Homo-oligomer: A and B are copies of this chain.
Amino acid sequence: MEAIRDILEKVKAGTVGVDEGLGLLKGQFYHDVGCAKVDLHRERRVGYPEVIYCAGKTSGQVTAILKAMLEREVNILATRASRELYQEIREICPDARYSPLAGAVTIRRKEVKAPPGYIALVTAGTSDLPVAEEAAVTAELFGNRVERIVDVGVAGVHRLFFNLETIRGARVVIVVAGMEGALPSLVGGLVDKPVIAVPTSVGYGASFHGLSALLAMLNSCASGVSVVNIDNGYGAGYIASMINNL
């Protein structure tokens, strides 16, 4: 509210005219109701990436958006991108890099300050890796260190225990699992940190494209587990990054 008072003071003092003051107030207004999100983020959190969700966009649309972003020298993350799309992107941005497992393109133009802690990324099976890697690429582009613990599903629980110390040392844990989605409950019972559970559409029959894993995670009997959408690796990486930066 101080900015608005300041405008009023200037209008009163005559250093700002009424029309000019009207324009200034308009800017403040939209700033206050949320438009600052895009602009101020950039000032406050230098290096944070812009994100493009490529699924359902033509390569022409994606490259047009990219070109506009590249002018501002920000870091960029393009998720759900095919290798073909990456080839087109590289023609306008030769330093773009591609993670084929995650289906993600990353462009680094600014350094991001790394928070001191790290994110543990726990994956149930090898088929869950693409979703997990999307989370990892996201979190890493935000400047986080990510420790990957793969293929530790509940059917061979000893593999999880081999890695407990790494998991417990993290500030926040992402757990990615399909099928019965039991791993987040198990991890949530073993660690004392927030667990972000990501159900995947891995499975068949009554897995119903990830519904089974999703329901299991929502009903987790372990405290500290919250859930994102099926296959939403990006969302999990984003939230974990937020928490790790607190």
Contact = CB atoms under 8 A, between A and B. Distances in A.
Given A180-B219, A224-B242, A243-B194, A229 B211 contact: no
A205 B202 CA distance: 11
Contacts of A242: 192-194, 224
Contact of A34 (B190, B202, B234): B190
A206 B181 contact: no
B220 A214 contact: no
Given A180-B185, A182-B182, A227 B224 contact: no
A213 interface: yes
B34 A22 contact: no
Contacts of A154: 154, 182, 185-186, 189, 221-222
Contact of A186 (B25, B186, B212): B186
Given A185-B154, A194-B239, A216-B212, A8 B35 contact: no
Nearest to A205: B230
Contacts of A169: none
A190 B238 contact: no
Interface string A140-171: 00000000000001111111011010000001
B213 A219 contact: yes
A37 B192 contact: yes
B32 A29 contact: yes
B61 A126 contact: yes
Given A37-B156, A186-B154, A125 B221 contact: yes
A14 interface: yes
